[in-house]
Amino acid sequence: MRASSIKRSLGVDLTTKIKESRVLLVGAGGIGCELLKNLVLTGFGEVHIIDLDTIDLSNLNRQFLFRHEHIKKPKALVAKEVAHNFQPGAKLEAYHANIMDRQFNVGWFQTFNIVFNALDNLAARRHVNRMCLAAGVPLIESGTTGFNGQVQVIKQVRSVYTPALSDEARTNDIREKPSVTTATPKPHQNHSLFAPFGPRRHSPSIASQLFGVSEDEEAELDMTENADNAEEIANLKKEADTLKEIRDSMGSDDFAKNVFKKVFETDMERLRGLDAMWKEREAPKVLVFDELQESSASINLPNSNADQREWSMEENLVMFKDSLDRLSKRLKELQLKKTPDDPEPILTFDKDDEDTLDFVTATANLRADVFHIGRTSKFDTKQMAGNIIPAIATTNAMTASLCVLQSFKVLQNDLSNAKIVFLERSGPRAINSEGLRAPNATCGVCSTVRGALSVTPSATLQDLVEGVLEPQFGYNTQEMSISTDQGVVYDPDMEDNLPKKLSELGITNDSFLTVVDQDDINQDPRVNLEFWIVEQTEPTEGSKPVMVQTLDIPRRKKKPVTPEPDVASVTNGAAGTGKRKREGEDELLTNGHVAKKVAGESAKNGDEDVVVIGDDEGAILIDD
């Protein structure tokens, strides 16, 4: 019944392709569980699942294949078992392993029709990306943070750089030119799944004034007097003295009161006095310590059950005093333990440190009231101050289904209609998409030409450099370098390495090496060449120590060439990408982009040596 309705909606052709395909799912976490269920229910014939982790209690709220009794068991194995119940006919294979292990080599990747990434870290994503590009297998990359999701098809259709299409040109519309639809991701943003959402830790300024700045540091304030700034300096001095006085009262009963009065009374009175600031906005409130103290006399300290509700002003005051007391004691203790050589001890904010979180919550709430802003619960403060981005089950579910929709395009070889899909909550539409992009000549990932390098156990670096790269590809041995994942093994200053065996240099079966052309004086350098090593145990008759099929290695053009007319005449059909279009480019996005790039920007791009597209988890760095 289910199978027949799928056939009716997808058609016989696609249904057959789905049934006959063998796919790999990397990661059985939030997206992975959803995706596995989708793949199995859609009728994918063979699904291999790999995950290195075991199930944790905290996974259960969204990784719905897992139940309490599965805790501590390998994710991949449990996911396989549970998904099998959905579709007993499906062929499932599970690996409790790291996808970065050598055993999962290029040859193994080549056995799949599609690879789905459902990972949570940069290193593994980047690794799978490289393996898929080397294996020539389409990769469907996905990721979520909070309400945002992204799905992207990555496939190198042709490893040739096409200078007429800039990296940013939308190739989805170029239906009549499938040969340039090299569907590799765009650097800067879209090798990355997400802009960096890394944790940023701010010490609230009140806290840093009390617990974070040593007296030495403060003494460094420039106190040189002159007529112009005399008044300002006098004020600064006064302020410093006041703070010192307050700090000196730390440990006494008056400390919390002194801090409160300074921050919420004195400073706010002064701020209210700056009339010009409050013409358009409501002036801050002054909180009167004695009043709040009185009304909170019989109020208890909010306990841990009160984490999820907003505290009253009285409760915030009680918490303010209590947490300040706890922090003061901690600082005093640190000061007592300090030897003369130690730096002045400080306390820093950590969302998992209850004392600091209590203090920040209470202080932020008092301050919010001063500025007529709503208060937040301790729970919400922890999310905000700790920059915690929640994993949301529905985002994962939507993202996983978008992955499956993209896989249909891949299976039908309809890459010109495949999309990079963005799921977002802000903005007019939840789902936006763009076409795939052409490779960027300056991007180390997508302009690279890849091939297999067949080597015998006795092959030397010289066999590679002088036996293959120079005669077969025309590299100038004085203007090139070769590196492995461990580092450079050859450049013109490293001729000593030439007689060494490749295996001695770490160039062994299933490893990778990159050849970089540095000859930019005589001509445009070639794009990078990446080989994966296939070791031949038995050298065959007449075979050379190092062999490789002939590859066409284009050069990185520094000067743009005129775009081909049919590229420029294609109209823009990209739906829902309004937000991403730049102003003035809306009309003809595709050709506008090409024209603009050719006119100005691509020359600039051509000079970039390193393309950095984000440095946080989820992003991918590309060294050219």
The residues binding Zn ion (CB under 5 A) are 187, 440, 443, 445-446
- By CB under 6 A, residue 138 contacts ligand ATP: no
Is 168 within 8 Å of 144 (Cβ atoms)? no
Beta strand extents in 111-206 (DSSP E only) = 114-117, 139-145, 148-154
Q: Does 616 bind ligand ATP (CB under 6 A)?
A: no
Number of residues this chain uses to bind ligand ATP (CB under 6 A): 20
Residue choice 18, 25, 52, 436 for contact with ligand ATP (CB under 6 A):
52
Q: Collapsing DSSP states into helix, strand and coil, what is residue 45?
A: coil
State the Cα–Cα distance between residues 217 and 336, nearest whole angstrom.
20
Please tell me whether residue 149 binds ligand ATP under the rule CB under 6 A. Answer: no
Pick the stretch among 119-127, 214-222, 289-297, 597-605 that binds ligand ATP (CB under 6 A). 119-127
Three-state DSSP state, 159: coil
Handedness of CA 258, 262, 265, 266 (dihedral sign): positive
Q: Which tokens is 610 given? A: 């390193």
Cα–Cα distance list, 483 to 265, 471, 502, 507, 600 (Å): 64, 20, 12, 10, 33
* Phi-psi group of 116: left, alpha or beta (phi > 0 → left; psi -120 to 50 → alpha; rest → beta): beta
**325 touches 297 (CB < 8 A):** no
Nearer to ligand ATP, 61 or 335 (CB): 61
Q: Using CB distances below 5 to 8 A depending on partner kind, what does residue 187 bind out of Zn ion, ligand ATP, none?
A: Zn ion
Is 60 marked as a binding-site residue?
yes
Q: Which helix (H) or strand (E) holds 450?
A: strand 449-455
Residue 27 labeled ligand binder = yes
Closer residue to ligand ATP, CB minimum distance, 30 or 439: 30
Q: From the list ligand ATP, Zn ion, none, which binds 75 (C-beta under 5 to 8 Å, kind-based)?
A: ligand ATP
- Helical ranges in 27-162 per DSSP H: 30-42, 75-86, 106-109, 122-135
Taking the C-alpha atoms of residue 320 and residue 317, their distance in angstroms, rounded to an integer, is: 5
Cβ 394 to ligand ATP, closest distance in Å?
14
By CB under 6 A, residue 347 contacts ligand ATP: no
Q: What is the CA radius of gyration of the chain?
A: 31
Structure tokens at 549: 């099929």
- Among 30, 163, 302, 545, which residue interacts with ligand ATP (rule: CB under 6 A)? 30
> In this complex, which beta carbon is closest to Zn ion, that of residue 173 or of residue 624?
624
CB of 393 to ligand ATP, least distance (A): 10
Residue facing ligand ATP at closest CB distance = 29
28 binds ligand ATP (CB under 6 A): yes
Told to check if 119 binds ligand ATP by CB under 6 A, we report: yes
The answer to whether 29 is annotated as binding is yes
Stretch that binds ligand ATP, among 95-103, 300-308, 428-436, 471-479 (CB under 6 A): 95-103
Please count the CA atoms within 13 angstroms of the CA of 62 that sit on its side-chain side. Answer: 19
Going by the annotation, the residues of the binding site for Zn(2+) are: 443, 446
Q: Give the binding site for ligand ATP (CB under 6 A).
A: 27-30, 32, 50-53, 58-59, 75, 98-100, 119-121, 124, 391
